[in-house]
Amino acid sequence: MILRDKISAQLPEWRERVKTLLKEHGETVIDRVTISQVYGGMRDIKGLVSDISYVDPAEGIRLRGYSIPEALKLLPRPEGGDMPYVGGLYYLLLVGETPNPEQALAVEDEWKARSVVPQHVFDMLRALAPQAHPMQLLSQAVLALQSSSVFARRYEEGMKKDEYWLPMLEDSLNLTAKLPGIAAFIYSLKYRNGIVPHPDPERDWAANFAHMIGVKDKTYEDVARLYFILHSDHESGNVSAHVTHLVASSLSDIYYAFSAGLNGLAGPLHGLANQECLGWLLDVHKKFGGVPSREELYKFAWDTLDSGKVIPGYGHAVLRVPDPRFTAQMEYARKHFPQDELVRLADLVFDVVPQVLKEQGKAKNPAPNVDAISGALQYHYGVREFDFYTVLFGVGRALGVTANAVWARALGQPIERPKSLTTKMLEEAAKGQ
């Protein structure tokens, strides 16, 4: 299999590189840690390694060194399609090289061969409470697949440590292959008739999601590709990525680990923000009966802040510029449906809200993040069930966290165990200054 062979070929050099770094420079100090960081969610503490992606505060995410516009340009795309194959992106994340079309299609073929979701997963989802949030369903579905973990079985059989990554790769391919079908089933179960068409062997991974979810407009295939690529990875400190890594560091398999990561993604400060953002846009739209004037929007934004709320879709923990994932989606919308009212409104918000946030002077980054637009695109295509948007995010996020998990196993990253202190100890440390 191409992914296994490509990673295998790189491993000796990578392992030597890490071994030498640790042996010769293991005691080198790279950062200092302050009390506010210790008490403040470990913000900015450099304590994780990922070679899959890096968020540059001034530039946004780089996937294997490529910016979003570069990756979208370089990755192979289907004939007539505007956006690249997600299989090509997965190849890039796992292998670290830009694939040619055959290599991207080889990943797509791997996914096709592994895409059948066991019946017990559907049965289990049907048995859950009808009011269960779609993210609960997704997390449970991933956990239900754990019984088929190749890693767990091979570990029981006593495999060698330097082989751990191989079943991790198998599990990751098996998991990611099934996610579009699982997500489409959740969508149909919650909001339609519970029936999902079979995947179409002629379509790629993302296009099949578009097909199974029942969106007829062919251009939604491109939006699905774009959405999954943009949400795939955002270095390793965000909650979903970090939780997945943390759980997997105990040698739990990817099903246990990613299910936990999804539970983190379900939180309002993480993956749920995109639905809140669309809700805010719709509130504005409803209040003014369409796209308001600049002045009206300016006042509405201030009213939101004055009522003690944040303006969703704006600000970021790391980024200090407009999120390139926002820009990519905004450009797509402006090109393909510039007259859409929500797109016009999102554009106006982009014009007005950074100024408002600057005047307020609190947010370190007054620019839009990915969530400021992604819901508006889904809404345009008739995917209007807000609750579902975090599931879309989760399907995309699986690509990044599984690629990281494969490499963490391959490079023998150990169990995570940071040290905690008591408040008294911090007070004493402060006095000692």
Ligand X SMILES: CC(C)(COP(=O)(O)OP(=O)(O)OC[C@H]1O[C@@H](n2cnc3c(N)ncnc32)[C@H](O)[C@@H]1OP(=O)(O)O)[C@@H](O)C(=O)NCCC(=O)NCCS
Residues catalogued as catalytic: 270, 316, 371
Q: Are strands 60-63 and 53-56 parallel, antiparallel or unpaired?
A: antiparallel
Q: Measured between alpha carbons, how far is 110 from 53 in angstroms, rounded to an integer?
A: 23
- By beta-carbon distance, which residue lies closest to ligand X? 315
Whether the Cβ atoms of residue 264 and residue 379 lie closer than 8 Å to each other: no
**Of 128 and 310, which has the nearer Cβ to ligand X?**
310
What are the beta bridge partners of residue 223? none
Shortest distance in whole angstroms from residue 226 CB to ligand X: 17
**Of 176 and 365, which has the nearer Cβ to ligand X?**
365
Q: Which residues, other chains included, contact 26 with Cβ-Cβ below 8 Å and sequence gap of 6+?
A: none
Shortest distance in whole angstroms from residue 367 CB to ligand X: 10
**Of 273 and 348, which has the nearer Cβ to ligand X?**
273
**Of 244 and 274, which has the nearer Cβ to ligand X?**
274
Whether the Cβ atoms of residue 52 and residue 326 lie closer than 8 Å to each other: no
Whether the Cβ atoms of residue 12 and residue 162 lie closer than 8 Å to each other: no
Shortest distance in whole angstroms from residue 360 CB to ligand X: 7
Binding site for ligand X (CB under 6 A): 269, 273, 305, 310-317, 357, 362-365, 369-371
Angle between helices 2-25 and 165-191 (to 10 degrees): 120
Tokens of 54: 């890096």
Question: Which stretch of DSSP H or E encloses residue 53?
Answer: strand 53-56
**Of 207 and 349, which has the nearer Cβ to ligand X?**
349
Sign of the C-alpha dihedral computed for residues 250, 255, 256 and 257 taken in this order:
positive
Shortest distance in whole angstroms from residue 10 CB to ligand X: 32
Shortest distance in whole angstroms from residue 55 CB to ligand X: 11
